[in-house]
């Protein structure tokens, strides 16, 4: 099944006003967290900076919102939203961004590839596309263990050009693994436009090559993402098989603060015309489910949480030197490591 237009499967999953407001808050939190992180990075308060998800917030929130405990996700380098939606706290992620002694990896890995087993988040690698087969394997385990849990694998348009994408989707389809592939197509891989990297319009069209449904979703519409993912999750849970969801989106910022922006100001400005937070906000206001005052309260709350968290994170010491040698293996090899 191939859809070459923006569309999504109908689903019975109903989002109540409360849910939508919660989704709005998650997106807003992610936006502010990212902005602050970039700011704090510029100020030297954070060591590395992150890959800003600004403009793409609807994808991680919409896809993860309906997950159940016991389900798993494997975020891309940019799916910051997966963490919030799966209840990782600001403090946890700031600790991770700092690599301090309270971070989940105790300074061994950065925030964007951090794993939180307690929250159903698998750690990814820096190798673009390399985590897609790992996510499929996690799904395989869940099925072998007799559960009806599912895995969501997030990755970018660029990752879909890696051999691992191909092998993973083919394996998932032929083994009917309960996994949902969510491609965050922001049209770029670092500085290279997708049009330079592939000769097709919709990555969703790749699904047919694995005998899998592929759908194009409006990645700026959190409800659309939610509904499509829910259908795909349902398909996965019931053992029918995996689905590829291509969420069309835009990267509103440069790839990473290390980079210079090559895109024209015009092109970047056009991205902002469809801000997922604005889109949901307008809808909620229209329905009367969220007022300007509510939003301001939310903003204030978030700002306060962020400030408390950074203060708290900055008070945490760095890991102790000896820790660098632990957890390479289950046991220390000592002299047997040569």
Partner 1 sequence: MRLLRGNQALCEALTQEMTQDERVFVMGEDVAAHGGIYRVTEGLLTCFGPTRVMDTPISESGFVGLAVGAAMLGMRPVVEIMSCGWITVAMDQIVNSAAKVRYVNNGGMHVPVVIRTVISGSGNVYTGQELEAWFFHVPGLKVVAPSNPYDAKGLLISSIRDPDPVIFFEHKSLYSMRGEVPEETYVLPFGQAKVRREGSDVTVVAYSGMVAVAEEAAHELAGEGVEAEVIDPRTLVPFDKKTIVESVCKTGRLVVVHESVRRGGVGAEIAAAVIDSDAFGYLRAPILRVTNPGVPIPFSATLRKIVSPGKDEVVAAVRRVMAYA
- H or E segment at 23? helix 17-42
Nearer to a second copy, 137 or 241 (CB): 241
Report if residue 186 touches Mg ion, rule: CB under 5 A. Answer: yes
Instruction: Provide the H-helix boundaries in 155-291.
Output: 163-174, 194-197, 222-237, 265-271, 276-287
HSE at residue 39, side-chain half, CA atoms within 13 A, is 9
What string marks each residue from 174 to 193 as x (binds a second copy by CB under 8 A) or -?
A: x-------------------
Q: Give the range of 94-102, 113-121, 146-154, 182-190 binding Mg ion by CB under 5 A.
A: 182-190
Nearer to partner 1, 14 or 144 (CB): 144
Report if residue 189 touches ligand TPP, rule: CB under 6 A. Answer: yes
Pick from 11, 105, 123, 170 the residue near a second copy by CB under 8 A.
170
Pick from 62, 156, 178, 319 the residue near Mg ion by CB under 5 A.
156
Give the C-alpha distances (Å, rounded to integers) separating 317 from 100, 102, 106, 141, 267.
Answer: 6, 8, 10, 37, 42
HSE at residue 115, side-chain half, CA atoms within 13 A, is 12
Q: How many residues bind ligand TPP (CB under 6 A)?
A: 18
Nearer to partner 1, 152 or 284 (CB): 152
- The phi and psi torsions of 195 (rounded to 5 degrees) equal -70, -20
Residues 190-209 touching a second copy, rule: CB under 8 A, are 196-201, 205-206, 208-209
Cα dihedral 170, 174, 177, 178, rounded to 10, equals 90
Q: Taking Cα atoms as reference points, which of 11, 119, 129 lies closest to residue 71?
A: 119
How far apart CA 75 and CA 3 sit, in angstroms, is: 25
Nearer to a second copy, 2 or 328 (CB): 2
Task: Select the binding partner of residue 206 from a second copy, partner 1, ligand TPP, none (C-beta < 5 to 8 A, by kind).
Answer: a second copy
Report if residue 332 touches ligand TPP, rule: CB under 6 A. Answer: no
Q: Give the range of 83-91, 187-195, 215-223, 308-316 binding ligand TPP by CB under 6 A.
A: 187-195
Task: Select the binding partner of residue 188 from partner 1, ligand TPP, a second copy, none (C-beta < 5 to 8 A, by kind).
Answer: ligand TPP
How far apart CA 75 and CA 154 sit, in angstroms, is: 5
Q: Give the range of 158-166, 223-231, 239-247, 296-304 binding Mg ion by CB under 5 A.
A: 158-166
Residue with structure tokens 């307690």? Answer: 118
3-state SS assignment for residue 297: helix
How far apart CA 24 and CA 40 sit, in angstroms, is: 24
Q: Which residues of this chain interact with Mg ion, rule CB under 5 A?
A: 156-158, 186, 188
Chain contacts with ligand TPP (rule: CB under 6 A): 76-78, 126-128, 155-159, 184, 186, 188-190, 251, 255
């Amino acid at each position: 099944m191939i859809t070459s237009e923006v569309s999504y499967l109908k689903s019975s999953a109903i989002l109540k006003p409360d849910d939508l407001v919660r989704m709005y808050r998650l997106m807003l939190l992610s936006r502010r967290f990212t902005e602050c992180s970039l700011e704090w990075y510029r100020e030297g308060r954070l060591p590395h900076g992150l890959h800003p998800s600004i403009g793409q917030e609807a994808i991680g929130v919409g896809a993860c919102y309906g997950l159940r405990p016991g389900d798993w996700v494997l975020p891309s380098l940019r799916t910051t939203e997966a963490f919030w939606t799966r209840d990782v706290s600001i403090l946890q992620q700031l600790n991770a961004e700092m690599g301090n002694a309270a971070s989940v990896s105790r300074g061994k890995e950065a925030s964007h590839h951090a794993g939180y087993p307690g929250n159903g988040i698998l750690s990814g690698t820096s190798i673009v596309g390399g985590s897609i087969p790992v996510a499929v394997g996690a799904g395989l385990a869940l099925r072998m263990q007799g559960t009806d849990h599912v895995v969501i694998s997030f990755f970018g348009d660029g990752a879909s050009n890696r051999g691992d994408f191909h092998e993973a989707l083919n394996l998932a389809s032929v083994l009917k693994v309960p996994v949902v592939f969510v491609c965050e197509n922001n049209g770029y891989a670092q500085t290279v436009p997708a049009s330079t990297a592939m000769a097709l319009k919709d990555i969703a069209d790749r699904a047919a090559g694995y005998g899998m449904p592929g759908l194009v979703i409006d990645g700026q519409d959190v409800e659309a993402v939610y509904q499509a993912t829910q259908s795909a999750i349902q398909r996965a849970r019931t053992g029918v098989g995996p689905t590829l969801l291509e969420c069309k989106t835009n990267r509103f910022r440069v790839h990473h603060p290390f980079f210079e922006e090559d895109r024209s100001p015009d092109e970047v400005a056009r991205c902002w015309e469809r801000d997922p937070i604005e889109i949901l906000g307008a809808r909620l206001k229209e329905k009367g489910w969220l007022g300007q005052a509510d939003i301001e309260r939310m903003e204030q709350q978030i700002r306060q949480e962020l400030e408390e968290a950074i203060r708290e994170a900055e008070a945490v010491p760095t890991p102790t030197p000896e820790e660098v040698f632990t957890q390479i293996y289950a046991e220390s090899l000592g002299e047997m490591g040569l």
